[in-house]
Amino acid sequence: MIHRERKKVLLVSAHPEPTSLTRQLAEQSAETLAASGCEVLHSDLYGMGWKAVFDGNDFPERLNPERLSLIDESGHAFARKSQTDDVEEEQRKLGEADALILHFPLWWFGMPAILKGWIERVWAFGLAYGFRGAGNAHRYGEGGFAGKRALLAVSVGGPAVDYSPRGINGPLDQLLFPVTHGTLFYPGMQVLPTYAVYGAARLDDAGVAAARAGWAERVRRLFEDEPIPFRSQNGGDYPDRHVLAPTVAPGQEGLGAHVALPSRVFACDGLG
Amino acid sequence: MIHRERKKVLLVSAHPEPTSLTRQLAEQSAETLAASGCEVLHSDLYGMGWKAVFDGNDFPERLNPERLSLIDESGHAFARKSQTDDVEEEQRKLGEADALILHFPLWWFGMPAILKGWIERVWAFGLAYGFRGAGNAHRYGEGGFAGKRALLAVSVGGPAVDYSPRGINGPLDQLLFPVTHGTLFYPGMQVLPTYAVYGAARLDDAGVAAARAGWAERVRRLFEDEPIPFRSQNGGDYPDRHVLAPTVAPGQEGLGAHVALPSRVFACDGLG
């Protein structure tokens, strides 16, 4: 008899209002995942009173009490298991999870500070960067979070047209590249195309219902959908680990060159 | 006799270690500006214990105590002058300033959470967005911070090559577009090309001295250098205020299309 392991999914949500679309989509995640037989872990950052600021208090046993190097102290605390309890707990949850879903409103074209601070504190040196003391040898496609999937569910105040390929804000996939590529793919996660709900501030009940239904569909396919084909550092496209080989996306510059498909395929899914 | 007004510059810095390169560059700003006859205001966010998290506590006199809409409460509190004292004080400093310099280390390809939270709380509705109750009529080139200049001084851990046009992290100007374009140009500031110091974690004394000298030169030209030529919303390039006219940067998509020059001119200045 084959034992099929139950998948675990960590939801991290970052909105202070329990009835916000962000929080409703997180509830939808929990419902849909439970119905699919997954185990759900949830870090509601506002509800937990998460400490957003990365500082010396994160290192109760300092390597160097004179001068604070965040990289050195992070590496030391992670290796010595002397991190703070809240960080240890988030790393434990993430370590168990097969997938991570980040639920947040787009504020000034990025994550809310409380979620950025969750990343800064939980993404320890030796784990999420500087993996196994090997500098940059393992990053972008491998590393401490390899084998996990990641997906963003983003509530966006403005209309979809402002985020279209020639829209005034810039395309959402490029604005979120520091998160999808630089934060999630960097330590090895496979990142799915972002789910965005536009005009989120002014949705009526029918709009919320449609957003939830569209999202539920994406959650059901969490372990089946194709990830964004970001190029892995060690797959051959970056022979020196720093720059694309001249034969890869020849002549192309900028963020889109790091996706192994025409840029339109990388466009965000969603409603608006 | 002509009275030439003394310029004021607000420095906002975000690093917990007083001897960090970030903080040293902020000291350099203060020295160079004072020597140039400018008045310097400084918000050292870690030193001030700045509250990073944007939440219901920002609104002591709620418009709606039942459900927290951050946009509605922000607009209400700004109009009624019922914001918290720390936010009022930062808006007062920024209001007086002719230029804003943000000093920060690049963490996960963006601003530290404490600085992101400074933006979220200080960039009020009615001031930095929804200016004068006119929706999106005034944004990208005009708005509550029109007439001010802005400049980023960024300490970057990795090497410059990783941020080059085909470098594995993506070009720094594109990674910072949500800050330069989406956060600073949006409410009307003229944004200068970013000053970046690469390999910042491992600089020796000579490297620090070179970084400070290069930065001092940029600070001296703060009111002379040409800003990044971001396209203004109401200058004709976006006839419907949402999408570039077909005749503007024809066929071009993505972040670079919003800069009125070849993308290489927009590249970041700096050392590495």
Q: Among positive and negative, which fits the CA dihedral A103, A104, A105, A109? A: negative
Cβ atoms within 10 Å, residue A250 = 10
3-state DSSP of chain B: CCCCCCCEEEEEECCCCCCCHHHHHHHHHHHHHHHCCCEEEEEEHHHHCCCCCCCHHHCCCCCCCCCCCHHHHHHHHHHHCCCCHHHHHHHHHHHHCCEEEEEEECECCECCHHHHHHHHHHCCECCCECHHHCCCCCCCCCCCCCCCEEEEEEECCCCHHHHCCCECCCCHHHHCHHHHHHHHHCCCCEECCCEEECCHHHCCHHHHHHHHHHHHHHHHCCCCCCCCCECCHHHHHCCCCCECCCCCCCCCCCHHHHECCCHHHHCCEEEC
Residue type, B52: A
Confidence class for position B137, pLDDT limits 50, 70, 90: very high
What's the pLDDT score for residue A2? Answer: 54
Domain count, chain B: 1
What are residue A152's phi and psi, to 5 degrees? -100, 135
What chain B residue is nearest to A178 in terms of C-alpha separation? Answer: B109
Nearest to B229 by CA among B187, B185, B270, B196: B185
d(C-alpha B245, C-alpha B228), whole Å: 20
- List, in sequence order, every residue forming a beta bridge with A40; answer none if it has no partner: A9
Q: What is the DSSP code (8-state) at residue A103?
A: E
d(C-alpha A192, C-alpha A223), whole Å: 10
Q: How many angstroms separate the CA of residue B37 from the nearest CA in chain A?
A: 33
Nearest to B149 by CA among B194, B125, B184: B184
d(C-alpha A119, C-alpha B115), whole Å: 14
User: Tens-digit pLDDT profile for chain A (272 aa)?
Assistant: 455 679 999 999 999 999 999 999 999 999 999 999 999 999 999 999 999 999 999 999 999 999 999 999 999 999 999 999 999 999 999 999 999 999 999 999 999 999 999 999 999 999 999 998 888 999 999 999 999 999 999 999 999 999 999 999 999 999 999 999 999 999 999 999 999 999 998 899 999 999 999 999 999 999 999 999 999 999 999 999 999 999 999 999 999 999 997 544 444 555 54
ipTM of the complex: 0.95
Of A55, A177, A182, the CB nearest to B16: A55
What's the pLDDT score for residue A4? Answer: 61
pLDDT at B94 over 60: yes
Q: Which helix (H) or strand (E) holds A43?
A: strand A39-44
Mutation target for B interface from A106, A169, A241, A247: give the one with most B CBs within 10 A.
A169
Confidence class for position B262, pLDDT limits 50, 70, 90: low
What chain A residue is nearest to B245 in terms of C-alpha separation? Answer: A166
Token output for A46: 């506002």
Residue A2, in any domain of the structure: no
Task: Of A20-29, A203-212, B78-87, B255-264, give the lowest mean pLDDT range.
Answer: B255-264
Residue A255, in any domain of the structure: yes
Quick check: A243 and B159 CB within 8 A?
Answer: no
What's the pLDDT score for residue B133? Answer: 87
d(C-alpha B232, C-alpha B218), whole Å: 24
What's the pLDDT score for residue A269? Answer: 53
Domain hosting B120: range is 8-271
Task: Of A173-187, B20-34, B85-99, B258-272, give the lowest mean pLDDT range.
Answer: B258-272
Query: What are the pLDDT digits (tens) for B6-61?
Result: 999 999 999 999 999 999 999 999 999 999 999 999 999 999 999 999 999 999 99
Query: What are the pLDDT digits (tens) for B162-180?
Result: 999 999 999 999 999 999 9
Instruction: Determine the angle formed by the axes of helices B205-220 and B21-35, rounding to 10 degrees.
Output: 40
CATH number of the domain where residue A259 is located:
3.40.50.360
Residue type, A195: Y
Quick check: A17 and B68 CB within 8 A?
Answer: yes
pLDDT at B63 over 50: yes
Confidence class for position B140, pLDDT limits 50, 70, 90: very high
Residue B3, in any domain of the structure: no
Residue A105, in any domain of the structure: yes
Query: What are the pLDDT digits (tens) for B192-232?
Result: 999 999 999 889 999 999 999 999 999 999 999 999 999 99
Nearest to B271 by CA among B20, B16, B18, B21: B21
What's the pLDDT score for residue B150? Answer: 98
Mutation target for A interface from B203, B234, B242: give the one with most A CBs within 10 A.
B242
Residue A36, in any domain of the structure: yes
The end-to-end CA distance of chain B, in Å, is 46
Q: What is the DSSP code (8-state) at residue A244?
A: -
- Which residues from chain B sit within 8 angstroms of residue A174, using beta carbons? 174, 177, 254-255
Residue B134, in any domain of the structure: yes
What's the pLDDT score for residue B264? Answer: 47
Q: How many angstroms separate the CA of residue A37 from the nearest CA in chain B?
A: 33
Residue B248, in any domain of the structure: yes
What's the pLDDT score for residue A266? Answer: 46
Token output for B221: 């030209």
Quick check: A256 and B254 CB within 8 A?
Answer: yes
Q: What is the DSSP code (8-state) at residue A58?
A: G
Residue B126, in any domain of the structure: yes
